[in-house]
Structure formats: C-alpha cells, structure tokens
Amino acid sequence: MRYNPAMGTVKKSILLPLLLLLGTGRLAADGKPHLLAYVQNIMSHSVSVIDLDGDREPRRLELGRYPLYSALYPPDPEKLLVTLHNYKRSGDDDALVLYDLRSERVLKRVSFPGPGMPSGFAHDAKRNRIYLADENRHRVDALDAISLEPVFEFPAGLIPVHVDISPDGRWLAVTNRKSADLYVYDLDDPGRDAKTGIFTIHLGKSPGAAWDPGVPGEEISHPLDIHFAAEANLCYVSDMQARQLLVVDILKREVAGRIPLNGSPFDFALDRDRTRAYVCLVDGEAVAVVDLAARKVTAEITGLRLNPIHCALDEEGGRLVVSCWGGAKEGGVYVVDTRTLKVLRHFPLKGEAASIGIALARQP
C-alpha cells in the first residue's frame, strides 16, 4: 500500500519511511537505518523479510496460507497487515492477519463469512476505516481501522481485486476483473444510496465469470490495479488483457484515455507526486515507466526474471522494489535504481514461490 501525504492514507506501497523496532539496528552506508522489504510468497505460504541494504540472507515468516498483499498497520507501524487469499476457496483459509514485527507473533486474525478471498485493501484516514476487496464474496468490507472489526460491506461486482481512495477522501474505487467494471462509492454520501452514492464505470467488454486469463481474447477487458491521480476525479487502471493503462474520469464516468503498453500490466506504483507510474508487465521481464502527464511510456526496466507482478517505491533512496511471480513456481525480488533504471540487486528467494505483495519499512 502507499502513503498519501495529503490524507495520511496508507496504500499498497509505503512512500515515506516508517521506523520499525525490529532487528539489530544496522545502518546503511549513508548512516540511515536499513530498509526492509516484507514480501508475500503466495504459493509457498510465506513472507520473506529482505534487508535491502545488508548482506544477510532473507528470513522466512509463516503467517498463514496464501499470503497476498500487505501494509503497515495505520495506527501502529510496528505491526503488519497481511491478507490470506484463500486460493483454493476453502472454508477457513481467508483472513486479514495483524502481525507484530517486534515480537514476531500474530496478534489478531480477522475472518469473514463463507469462503472469501481477501485481496487488495486501503486505509481511509478521514474515517479511520480499512476497505478490503474480497474476490470470492464479491464484496468490499469496511473495517474499523483500530479494532479491525467489520462495520459494513459494499456490493462490488464480479471478482473485485484492488481498491483505492481519492486524495480528497471522497471516492472509493474498486476494480472488477471479470465484469470489467470500476465500482465507485461516494464516501461523503452518508446514506450510500444506490442512485447517488454508488455507480459503475464500464471499462470494456466483460470476460465473464468462466473466462480463463490464459485464453486469448483481444477484445476483452481485464482490469486489475488502480491508483488515483493527483487530481481527485481521475484514476489509472491497469488492463491486463487490453495491454493498456486506462485513464478514468470519475465525474464523467468514462474512460478518458488509454496508454498502450508493450506487455500485459498487472500491479503498478505511482511516485509521490503522482506524475510517473511504474507498471509491472507480468507476461515478460520488464516494468514500463509511464509519464502520466504526457500519457506515454518513456522507458522500460528490463531483465526482471520472471513475470514482474508488483512493485513498491523507496523514493528517499531512489529505488524501486519489484517482486516476480516466476510462473507460480519460484519467487524473487529485484531492486532498481529509479534514476538510471538499472538493476542494483537481485534476491532469488530460493524455495519460495510466486512472490507478489510488498511492504517497506526502515529498521532502527
């Protein structure tokens, strides 16, 4: 998740360094605490702890089956939130886990009714809630950010994946990968009325519930990740099947632009000013760098083997951390210099499979 300085909102990748009381207090060459990456390896049921500034071997945490995405807990950055994705849709494998990074133990496990598949989530600082997309229950759960107890839920279309909140805190938007819709909720509408508070923006031809992402279908839309622009009424959506980054106008309720890419996009990250996007092209070995004002790709970061799927920015250090799916059989993480766009380090993560979500934090 990201940190939104305008709202104090924590999202999918942390943009401002947060100090965690963990480890031995090592310092990087510049005298600052080491940066740690907490990487979810969904198919090996583990979280890797990687010291991005040191030479230590990655450590392995086991928080539950199928960990997918994570972020530091908004009320206390010494704790980590992790979604357990319930990949096989069993009755009790779905959960949101609260993990204490100092004591290295699970403090709380929040379960949901039925065989859910918790996915992306975002923190709403204005109302102090966490909104969590559930792919199998076709809902967005609103949780109290302190207690993590469910408050209410939204309908969210067919297989919601990622959520984001506009910089002014008004709009909550959710991608639906099988109905090819963007569900939008006016959080300032206290009644959340279906006529005024909830609406959909159709992004393209729906693939339908039975469609397999591995089956060709050039005319099909398959939206995945979403991030709002600096302008509160615009957002960007990765469309894996269309091989585009979409520009969506919330007020006009339409796709306002399509940025072509040289591969199939999955997750992406925006810089702090929301002027540049780093888009993971999951069908290959590259991350596209997109100038959002010009609405075009300006460069590609190559040599990321295999299947880059998620990334997080360390803007203070000028680094991009990229996780690789590895054909669901192996995992790995690359660290890229955002100035030269060259790979600085590679962590193969031997024995792990399908690396995806990343949370970044400083070690004291």
Q: What distance in Å separates the CA atoms of residue 306 and residue 318, rounded to the nearest whole number?
A: 23
Query: So what's the pLDDT on residue 210?
Result: 75
Structural domain including 86 reads 3-362
User: Is the model's pLDDT at 128 over the cut of 70?
Assistant: yes
Query: So what's the pLDDT on residue 29?
Result: 60
- Over residues 132-157, mean pLDDT: 94
pLDDT per residue over 159-207, tens digit each?
A: 999 999 999 999 999 999 999 999 999 999 866 655 567 899 999 999 8
Handedness of CA 184, 188, 192, 193 (dihedral sign): negative
CATH of the domain at 154: 2.130.10.10
Q: What distance in Å separates the CA atoms of residue 164 and residue 128, rounded to the nearest whole number?
A: 14
- Over residues 144-161, mean pLDDT: 94
Cβ-based burial of 102 (10 A; exposed 0-12, middle 13-18, buried ≥19): exposed
For the chain, what is the mean pLDDT? 89
Query: So what's the pLDDT on residue 90?
Result: 79
Query: So what's the pLDDT on residue 13?
Result: 35
Amino acid of residue 31: G
User: Is the model's pLDDT at 225 over the cut of 80?
Assistant: yes
- Over residues 152-161, mean pLDDT: 92
Query: So what's the pLDDT on residue 192?
Result: 61
User: Is the model's pLDDT at 137 over the cut of 80?
Assistant: yes
pTM: 0.90
User: Is the model's pLDDT at 38 over the cut of 90?
Assistant: yes
Total domains present in the chain: 1
User: Is the model's pLDDT at 19 over the cut of 80?
Assistant: no
pLDDT per residue over 62-121, tens digit each?
A: 999 999 999 999 999 999 999 999 988 877 789 999 999 989 999 999 998 888 999 999
The number of helices, as runs of H, and strands, as runs of E, in the chain is: 0, 30
User: Is the model's pLDDT at 24 over the cut of 60?
Assistant: no
Query: Which DSSP state fits 220?
Result: B
- Over residues 115-138, mean pLDDT: 96
Across the beta sheet with 46-51, what order do the strands follow? 59-61, 46-51, 35-41, 355-362
Lowest mean pLDDT among 5-14, 47-56, 242-251, 279-288: 5-14
